[in-house]
Amino acid sequence: MVEGQLVDELVAKYCTTRGYRYSYGTAGFRDDAGRLDTVMFATGIIACLRSIALDGKPVGVMITASHNPASDNGVKIVEPDGSMLVQTWETRATELANLISSGSAAEIRRRIAELVTSAADVRPRLVIGRDSRVSGPHLLECLLGSANSLFQAQIKDYGLVTTPQLHYLTSRSLSVDGPVEEEDYFVDFSSAWNEITRLHDVERLPSAGLVVDCANGIGGPKMHSFIPRCRVLSEATTVINDNCADALSLNRGCGADFVKTNQRLPDGIRDTDGDSRLYCSFDGDADRVVFYYLNEDNRFQLLDGDRISALFAYFIAQLLEQSGLRSVLSMGVVQTAYANGSSTQYLQNHLKVPVTCTKTGVKHLHHEAVTHYDIGIYFEANGHGTVIFSDHFYATLRTQTHNSLATKTLKLLPQLINQTVGDAISDMLGVLAVLSILKWSPARWANEFTDLPNLLIKVIVPDRSQFITTDQERKLISPEGLQEKIDKAVSKFHSARSFVRASGTEDAVRVYAEAATQQEANELSAIVSKLVLESCYK
């Protein structure tokens, strides 16, 4: 039995945030860093219990707040195979964090002692990483406070890594005997890039160069370590916004979320007249990426997650046709309600690729892709996603006796694209490989379809929990009557749609509007936003 005095001492030392309600959202716990010590202590317990329940398999813990401001932080738990924590354990994590935050000392002591004592005689194994936020070391200390003191966990701390690296390293720790080092990540993905570009005789990028905006996050130093290993890229790539030592600059005026939301170049890019380069932006922990370029009129043109999905679908469909496997292997694209309507029509009508819609959050897209397709392509419009290949895919490729160029390329794609989670670096490599093989310029990529004009805004509300959705978050069932008013507003515009969903991290709702012209989209957005606010103050 764990001594009650030890539990009391640990809670007093590490859990200063009391009386606060926590929620494990689509990307784990995330909040102002000053409120997270209690959550981190609880996460150490839950992560250890999850490892014990899986007979000591490695469980990952990543301390990050992704694209959020530098003052925020968060934590997510990773399954041994590199996937997101199963949802039943999300509930356990939330319940324990809220018990420690709001329960009585006796209740907290009893529950923690019960959890630790009921655990099997297995030493838990944790794989830990964090992004570059200044709050990271303190929050790590709170996590280790429970993991070490209550469980004597076996811990591998990789220090500063990207979120996709942590997912990858957790998965590799499960599958490989012996030590797993960060170097393995660089070697595996750069080797796949070098092999596929040699296979297709790629000696230059189809643009005048590549500029990578790293959001002043941990992706900056990782890119500097990675690029010299990659043929073609080492001479053609410029890395900007790579100062992760400047805490306040993280995601400020740069990064994937800034570029996507503001539809403009990030800070740090100059001398763009006559530019024919391809640009991309990561977010703070390098698990999402968006691309963009300047057209012949020197105007900003975004190539977001919808475009990335379409590019991969176009390319892989060709490979399946050329290898004679299109009728053997199923391929589909998973989207959310935020996907532009034109991208859905392009995939379904032009490429004849099935499209599935699911709730926002990469864990939902990943599950849908894995469950329904041999080749599941999923990207949220914000650039978070990957391409997942099934066991049936691998088994089928192993039986192919005719090793054509298309077949060889199909075999290399899963090595080039991170199979555990969306990864800005490996997704960037995948996109660059496809563009180089197809010999497509950024403009050629953009011309595959024309986005319907749209607008996404945030509306602050007193209580986001009253906004309850159905139909994969495309329709509201609460507040009562609001959806009917939205439908009536949408009917007044051409090729229009609009939906409202609650934020997962703050008391706000997201209002998305899409229409035939930007003016109509803006007008529709204003009408729906007003309806949202009116529903809050009836």
- Residue 120 confidence (pLDDT): 74
- The pLDDT > 70 percentage for the chain reads 99
The pairs formed by 292-299 with CB atoms below 8 angstroms and a separation of 24 or more are 292/259, 292/265, 293/207, 293/442, 293/443, 293/446, 295/443, 295/446, 296/443, 298/272, 298/273, 298/274
Residue 363 has a pLDDT of 87
Report if residue 316 sits inside a domain.
Answer: yes
285 assigned to a ligand binding site: yes
CATH, residue 481 = 3.30.310.50
Does 153 count as an annotated binding residue? no
Q: Does residue 438 form part of some domain?
A: no
Query: How many whole angstroms separate alpha carbon 165 and alpha carbon 186?
Result: 9
State the pLDDT at residue 340. Answer: 95
Task: Please name the amino acid found at residue 338.
Answer: Y
* Alpha carbon distance 534, 538 (integer Å): 6
Q: Are residues 295 and 309 in the same domain?
A: no
HSE of 182, CA atoms in CB hemisphere, 13 A: 17
Res 449: pLDDT:
96
Question: Is residue 437 situated within a structural domain?
Answer: no
DSSP structure string for 362-404: HHHHHHHHHHH-SEEEEE-TTS-EEEEE-HHHHHHHHT--S--
| pLDDT at residue 506 greater than cutoff 80 | no
Q: What is the pLDDT of residue 273?
A: 56
Q: What is the pLDDT of residues 527-536, one digit of tens each?
A: 999 999 999 9
Instruction: Give the span between the Cα atoms of 371 and 47, in whole angstroms.
Output: 25
The residues, any chain, with a CB within 8 Å of residue 64's CB and separated by 6 or more, are 73, 74, 75, 76, 130, 131, 133, 163, 284, 285
The verdict on whether residue 283 carries a ligand-binding annotation is yes
- What average pLDDT score do residues 269-279 get? 77
Q: Are residues 341 and 358 in the same domain?
A: yes
* 213 and 279 both lie in a single domain: yes
Whole-number pLDDT of residue 278? 96
Domain match, 171 and 56 both: yes
Binding site annotation covers 391?
Answer: no
Q: Which of 178, 201, 227 is where one domain is finished? A: 178
Q: Confirm whether residue 368 is marked as ligand binding.
A: no
Per-chain mean pLDDT for the chain: 94
pLDDT in tens, 137-195: 999 999 999 999 999 999 999 999 999 999 999 999 999 888 999 999 999 999 999 99
What is the mean pLDDT of the segment spanning 459-472? 93
Is 326 annotated to bind a ligand? Reply is no
Is 407 within the bounds of a domain? yes
Q: Are residues 140 and 193 in the same domain?
A: no
Q: Does residue 332 share a domain with residue 312?
A: yes
Residue 125 in domain: yes
pLDDT at site 307: 98
523 known ligand binder? no
Per-residue pLDDT at 369: 96
405-448: per-residue pLDDT in tens? Answer: 999 999 999 999 999 999 999 999 999 999 999 999 999 999 99
Q: Among 178, 211, 228, where does a domain finish?
A: 178
Tell me which residues are annotated as active site.
Answer: 66
Residues 249 and 167 in one domain: no
Please give the pLDDT value at position 271: 65
Q: What is the pLDDT of residues 67-98, one digit of tens each?
A: 999 999 999 999 999 999 999 999 999 999 99
Q: Please determine, for residue 275, whether its predicted confidence score (pLDDT) is greater than 70.
A: yes
Q: Is the peptide bond before 266 cis (omega within 30 degrees of 0)?
A: no
Q: Is 447 inside a domain boundary?
A: no
342 appears as a binding residue in the annotation: no
Q: What is the CATH number of the domain that holds 82?
A: 3.40.120.10
From 286, 303, 320, the end of a domain falls on 303
Answer for the pair 179, 133: CB distance below 8 angstroms, yes or no. no
Based on the fold, state whether residues 494 and 483 are members of the same structural domain. Answer: yes
The per-residue pLDDT for range 18-57, each reduced to its tens digit, is 999 998 987 799 999 999 999 999 999 999 999 999 999 9
- Both tokens of 390, joined, read 């099934």
66 carries a ligand binding annotation: yes
One domain for residues 64 and 165: yes
Q: What is the pLDDT of residues 224-266, one digit of tens each?
A: 999 999 999 988 999 999 999 998 999 999 999 999 989 899 9
Handedness of CA 334, 337, 341, 345 (dihedral sign): positive
What pLDDT, on a 0 to 100 scale, did the predictor assign at position 274?
A: 56
Q: What is the pLDDT of residue 298?
A: 86
Domain annotation covers residue 427: no
Dist. CA 222–CA 259, nearest whole Å: 21
Determine whether the annotation assigns residue 504 to a binding site.
yes
Count of domains for the chain = 4
CA-nearest of 301, 453, 303 to 382 is 303
Model pLDDT for residues 283-292, shown as the tens digit of each residue: 999 999 999 9
Do residues 327 and 246 share a domain?
no
What's the start-to-end Cα distance of the chain, in Å?
54
Question: Are residues 224 and 96 both part of a single domain?
Answer: no
Q: What is the pTM for the complete model shown?
A: 0.93
Considering the chain, what percentage of its residues have pLDDT values greater than 90?
A: 88
Residue range of the domain that includes 244: 184-303
| Residue 505 marked as a ligand binder | yes
- Residue 474 lies inside a defined structural domain of this protein: yes
- The CA distances from residue 297 to 237, 301, 492, in Å, are 24, 10, 33
Q: Are residues 29 and 52 in the same domain?
A: yes
Amino acid at 199: L
